Amino acid sequence: MTTTNQSLQTWVDQVAQLTSPDKVVWCDGSDQEYDALVEQMNETGTLSALNQETHPNCFLHLSDPQDVARVEHLTFICTTEKEDAGKNNNWMDISDAKEKMQGLFKNCMNGRTMYVIPYCMGPVDSPYSRCGVEITDSPYVVINMKIMTRMGASALARIERGDPFVKGLHSTGDLDPERRFIMHFPEEYSIMSFGSGYGGNALLGKKCHALRIASWQAREEGWLAEHMLILGLESPEGETHYIAAAFPSACGKTNLAMLIPPESYKDWKIWTLGDDIAWLHMDNEGQLRAVNPEAGYFGVVPGTNAKTNLNAFDMIQRNTIFTNVGQTADGQPWWEDKKEGEPAIDWKGRNYDKNVGPAAHPNSRFTVSATENKAYSELAEAPEGVPISAIVFGGRRRELAPLVYQSKSWQHGVLIGAGVASETTAAATGKVGLVRRDPMAMKPFCGYNFADYWAHWLSFSERSSKLPQIFHVNWFRQDADGRFLWPGFGENMRVLEWIIRRCKGSADAVETAIGYLPTDDGLNLDSVNLNEGDWAALRHVDKEQWLSEMQDVGEYLRSYGDRTPSKLLDEHQRVVNNLSA
Ligand code: OXD
Ligand code: MN
């Protein structure tokens, strides 16, 4: 297969000339192509079959031990003006970056096959979707992209009808961390990624395109590309409301998106539309609508079990690519907190020894099609997306943030989003457990200056009077002994229900300086196991702690200099005044 799109053909030819592959293969996205690649990778040892009786069509990939997570310090936004990338990003001059990357890519595919992957982020027939083409020398990338995107012939047809596309060039190179760079050129909608085979660095449709490049494009075109799950909450009366929620990496987006309601909510249902990325567009009536640009899940494996996330646990019993998990003696995948079986081999392929380390890497992943999820909503394919009633921000905070609170206005909600902070996790290399500012959970993913991004968020209130309500949640509040105050997982349903009742105007709330909180009897706590005093603690707003938090937030916002929108600073001052009153 080649293409009738001249600019695509020219770019592919240029890349082939630069990288000198042995052959060039245009991917059609078919099942036969997937199966043939899996077979080939099994032969070369980059993939191994797991127990096919218990886990049909499941395979394991063990990556280079130094290539197991996103590398934020090696990820760059390259723009003409440094200020456009902002202090939230590493910046490199465009020509310096290109020169560096040309050097790395030169002849790097010698002895390898170059795959050309046309893909579409979002339903192929949606006006909200955007296309891309990834060129890679990694068959692992090809099979993952097949699951994670609408890949191949249908995407190419859309590109050939004249749809603009993002150009992504990727090579695993020699996996040397010293020669690893993930470069973005948002002004020309292109990406160059070298030296890593890890998901977020290598599956370019995901973080690089659908968040970093798309956030830039979204600002130009008047929409939002966000690090958000999308779920539908169906009441016993059959009414469904849609929620988009932003939490930092490995903070439970997948679990919330697939939540199974507890016994006292047995007639309610949660539908999953997406677990990681939402593209939010405003329709002609001023309604914000969401599409999930992805077609699969690239989820964190450890901690997944029948209790924490039964839907995910069930869906990864078949047709799944596992990366960096351990194995039982009979070849079943194994990870910490699986609550089933015993590990025999660890993620480095060695005999498991608990004194040496975990069986599965803490950032080990599953890649699986969204349609394998029992809670999958077919509206994930709807070209017009779904109407969003509520936007939820959240982080992993031991202290301070109450279980749930609601903003007083859109502007206040943007401040709440901009002030999100969370403990770092294993999804990126670096220290785990440090609290850092992660506005809108987009710190690693916003492709431009955060100050301009907040201004873009604020601008939505000028375009519509029926924007979603904005909330903040914290499932991770602990007491002084480190005990979690809230059981989380399925019980989070109670919070979601309150959120929807607030959107409909049918739940009372207590007004505080930081926003509206549930009243004492505001949440249905029927059969939840809370200790005496926990419910009050989960709603406690400590003024001193909050004043100090707001001082921190203020300094953070002002550190973006003149570009920080004055509206946001005014809103910040309003909250500080209320806290001090
Ligand atoms: C992810 C991440 O893989 O956020 O989704 O790191
Ligand atoms: Mn993510």
- Assess contact for 113 and 137: CB atoms under 8 A: yes
pLDDT digits (tens, 9 = 90+) for 88-115: 999 999 999 999 999 999 999 999 999 9
Q: Is 0.95 surpassed by the pTM of this model?
A: yes
Mean pLDDT of 523-532: 94
pLDDT over 90 at 71, yes or no: yes
Going by C-alpha positions, the residue among 370, 12, 447 that lies closest to residue 208 is 447
pLDDT bucket at 415, cuts 50 / 70 / 90: very high
Ligand 1 mutation pick, 247, 298, 363, 438, max ligand atoms within 8 A of CB: 298
Buried b (16+ CB within 10 A) or exposed e, 341-375: bebbbbbeeeebeeeeebbbbbbbbbbbbbebbeb
pLDDT bucket at 427, cuts 50 / 70 / 90: confident
- The rounded Å distance from CA 140 to ligand 1 centre is 17
Mean pLDDT of 351-361: 97
Two tokens, residue 268? 């309610």
Ordered DSSP codes for 277-310: -EEEEE-TTS-EEEE---SEEEEE-TT--TTT-H
- The rounded Å distance from CA 276 to ligand 2 centre is 5
Mean pLDDT of 300-318: 97
119 vs 387: CA distance, rounded Å: 25
453 vs 451: CA distance, rounded Å: 5
Ordered DSSP codes for 401-469: S-SEEE-SSHHHHHHHHHT-EEE--TTBSS-SS-EEE-GGG-TTT--S-HHHHHHHHHHGGGT-S-PPE
Question: What's the chain's average pLDDT?
Answer: 97
pLDDT over 90 at 426, yes or no: no
Going by C-alpha positions, the residue among 277, 151, 257, 149 that lies closest to residue 211 is 277
Strand pairing class (333-334; 269-274): unpaired
Backbone angles phi, psi at 228, to 5 degrees: -135, 145
Mean pLDDT of 56-65: 97
Q: Which of 27, 78, 120, 251 is catalytic?
A: 251
> Ligand 1 within 6 A of 323 CB?
no
Q: What residue owns the CA closest to ligand 1's atom 4?
A: 249
| pLDDT value of position 428 | 84
171 vs 69: CA distance, rounded Å: 16
| 203-217, 420-434, 567-581: least confidently modelled range | 420-434
pLDDT digits (tens, 9 = 90+) for 281-294: 999 999 999 999 99
* Atom number in ligand 1 closest to CA 365: 3
Ligand 1 mutation pick, 203, 208, 227, 249, max ligand atoms within 8 A of CB: 249
Backbone angles phi, psi at 422, to 5 degrees: -155, 155
Percent of the chain with pLDDT over 90: 97
| pLDDT value of position 1 | 61
- Assess contact for 361 and 303: CB atoms under 8 A: no
Ordered DSSP codes for 519-571: -TT-S--TT----TTHHHHHT---HHHHHHHHHHHHHHHHTTGGGS-HHHHHH
> Ligand 1 within 6 A of 70 CB?
yes
Mean pLDDT of 394-422: 96
Tracing tokens 């202090």 back to the chain, one arrives at 87
- The rounded Å distance from CA 264 to ligand 1 centre is 32
Mean pLDDT of 251-260: 96
How far is residue 348 from each of residues 59, 340, 390, 429, measured CA to CA in Å?
A: 15, 21, 42, 17
Q: What residue owns the CA closest to ligand 1's atom 2?
A: 249
120 a catalytic residue: no
Spell out the residues 6+ positions from residue 492 whose beta carbon is closer than 8 angstroms to its own.
256, 259, 473, 475
117 vs 161: CA distance, rounded Å: 17
| pLDDT value of position 68 | 95
Query: Going from the N-terminus, what domains does the chain have, and what CATH number goes with each?
Result: 6-46+74-221 (3.40.449.10), 226-296+378-580 (3.90.228.20)
> Ligand 1 within 6 A of 298 CB?
yes
* Atom number in ligand 1 closest to CA 69: 6
Q: At what angle do helices 31-44 and 139-148 cross, to 10 degrees?
A: 140
pLDDT over 90 at 183, yes or no: yes
Two tokens, residue 491? 């019980």
